[in-house]
Each structure stands twice: as C-alpha cells, then as structure tokens.
Structure 1
C-alpha cells in the first residue's frame, strides 16, 4: 500500500520539483526520463526515422540532465523544454530529415487490404496524400517545419512551441500559418477537385 501511495505522489509532483530535487539527488531525474522518453523518441522517429531516433532521444536526455541546474523552475512542465532540445538536435540532421520526406514521397502506395469499407477508404485517402505531404515537408524551411511538427505531431500549444524554440508566440503563429499554407497548397495541387473544407 505504501508503494502505491508513493507512486501516486510521484505522479502528482511537477517536473520542476523533480528537476529541483535532482540537483541534490541526480537519480531523481530518472522520473523526467520515464515521463517523456516515449514521446521524445516518437517525435524523433517521425522526423528522422527509427535509425537516428534512439541516438537523438538519448542525447536529448543527456543534454537535459547536464543542464538541469539551469532549468527555469517557474515552468512546472518540462515537456516544452525537452522538445526544444530535441528540435535543436533534429536541426543538426536537417539533411537526413529532408531526405526521409523525399523518400517517403516516392514510396509506392501499398494496396489496401481487406477490411471495413471506411477503413479501406481512409487508408487509400491517406496513402494518396502521403506523396504531396512528404514532398511539401521536405521543401519548407527548417524553422517552419519545426513549428508545424511540434504542433501537429508533438501536440504542443503555440505558447509551448515558443518556449521550446525560444521565440515569441507571434513568431510561432506566423511560421505555423505559413507552413500550413504551403502544405495546403501542395495538397490542393495534388487534389485539384478537393476543397479545403473536404479535407
């Protein structure tokens, strides 16, 4: 029973409190790793592929551990801070990321397997959009791609993206708008009869 109480108490402790405790007891930082590793690794894998994701995710937490004493304790949630670190590491691999998107844009569309008609239709629709979407992601600037994917794939708010990247919320909204406009245009060119509303 005591172990369950301790586990529940650990879940309620803010990231900032854990990081502050880790200044004196470094092993406490493992709780931050446990909370966010899967998300950070998943984000890196989506952007760079599985071969680089392990290294990038591990390096993200090594850097975070080394910088933990400089963490702004007024920010209870460490997730934007970690995404900022991983985004900077991914930027070092921007060529690999662009190559990945170009390769995905050329990936032949797989045949839909048997199943429910709606699932098959959804799968075919997603496959049809993959090529232009990946090609557009490969072409947009790194700064716009970072903002777009932190919102779309990591699920961060504009304010959290601003914190992660060290830019203003206004800059995030501007970059997000431009990135979305570019992606929409690419998808519209690929599907000239589809309206934005249909999407």
Structure 2
C-alpha cells in the first residue's frame, strides 16, 4: 500500500526522498492551476512552487488540512507574489484571452458552445470579489472541496460555503438565456 500524501510530506522533513512522490502525484494539477491563471509563466511558477514547498515542508500541519490543500496554498502564494511583482497576466487585467487554456481534445460543438458563453463567464468572474472567484475556480477547476478551498484561501469553511453560494448564483444569473421576443409583423 502506497503511503498517503500527508504521511509523505511529514516524512520528507527527515527523509527528503519522500518528497519525490508528491511531485509526481501533484505536478499536473498544480501546473493546470497555474496555467489557467498565468499561462505564459506557468512552468516557472511551478518550479517556484516546488522550491518553496520543499524548503517549507516542515511547516505542514495535518490538523489544518491535507497535503494537497497545503500544496495549493503554496501555489496560491507563489501566484500572488507573481502578481504583486506587476505581472500583466493577472485575471481581469487585460481582458484578453491570455488566461484561457485551449483543450484540443474537446469536441468542436462543445468548444463553440463554450466560446459563445465565455465572454459572459469571463466578465462575471472578473466582477466577482477576489475570494469568491478564487473559491469558485479552486472548486470547479482544481476539484477541491469547499472545505479544502477554504483552507487554501485561509477563511472558515462556513464563510467559504456562503461566498461560494453567492458566486455560483451570480454566475448562474449571468448565464441565463436572454428571452427571445417575437418579431413584430409575424403572422401566425
């Protein structure tokens, strides 16, 4: 039986080799997290995440969350530091498609449907308060639970659930189809 992530992270404090499976298990999802937010520098940011995670691995506290949650917290901090340095890729900064990641394996009609609603989704996400947007994206894109996302952001789980509810309601409202009015002069 493979050791779980929490055990590996704790063990890596005294046995650095125990950190390697964490990289293998989580590199893909952490890269995806970074690529959706800062695609041009995602590789560099991922390297920084692993460097910071390795050097601060002794600070992991299993009572505050899982190793996966802790790693997303490190990634979030690295990304925030990147944006504080004045990076132009901050979501909502340029309004362009820089933070969109294309998926070549999606069916054409799915991409067309998504393209049709993408501007509305992007505008709605850009208008959400930062914490609500981050919660929504951590849960939708990174598959974290609301409790895990709350731990990453550093807010209580109950607060996260209420903010997530508000964010989802705003997104649903933005995606409601417009009512089609009949043209005048049409005969029935």
Same fold, judged at TM 0.5 (above): yes
Question: Retained in 1: the 8 A contact 2:65–2:151?
Answer: no
Correspondent of 1:35 among 25, 34, 47: 25
Please say if residues 131 and 153 of structure 2, whose CA atoms lie closer than 8 Å, have aligned partners that are also in contact.
no
| Match 2:118 to one of 127, 130, 146 | 130
Query: How far apart, CA to CA, are the structure 2 residues paired with 1:57 and 1:100?
Result: 21
Structure with the higher helix share, 1 or 2: 1
Q: Map of 1:88-167 to 2, 5 A cutoff?
A: 88-92=77-81, 93=83, 96-99=89-92, 102-104=95-97, 119-167=107-155
5+ residue gaps, structure 1, are: 1-8, 108-118, 195-199
* Contact preservation (8 Å) 2:5, 2:22: yes
* Aligned residue pairs, count: 169
Kept after mapping to 2: 8 A contact 1:147/1:172:
yes
Provide the secondary structure at the position in 2 that maps to 1:98.
Answer: coil
Question: Pick from 16, 30, 42: which aligns with 1:26?
Answer: 16
Q: Please, what TM-score do these two structures have when normalized by structure 2?
A: 0.78
Q: Secondary structure at the match of 1:154?
A: coil
SS state at 1:104 partner? coil
Q: How well do the aligned residues superpose, as a CA RMSD in angstroms?
A: 2.5
Tell me which residue corresponds to 1:183.
Answer: 171
How far the C-alpha of 1:75 sits from its partner, in A, is 6.6
1:76, 1:134 → 2: CA distance? 30
CA distance in 1, matches of 2:113, 2:131: 28
- In the aligned structure 2, how far is the partner of 1:164 from the partner of 1:82? 8
**Runs (5+) with no aligned partner, structure 2:** 101-106, 181-188
Q: How does 1:7-26 map to 2 (within 5 A)?
A: 9=1, 12-26=2-16
Alignment of 1:76-91 (within 5 A): 77-91=66-80
CA distance in 2, matches of 1:67, 1:123: 40
Structure 1-normalised TM-score? 0.74
Measured in 1, the distance between the counterparts of 2:15 and 2:5 equals: 14
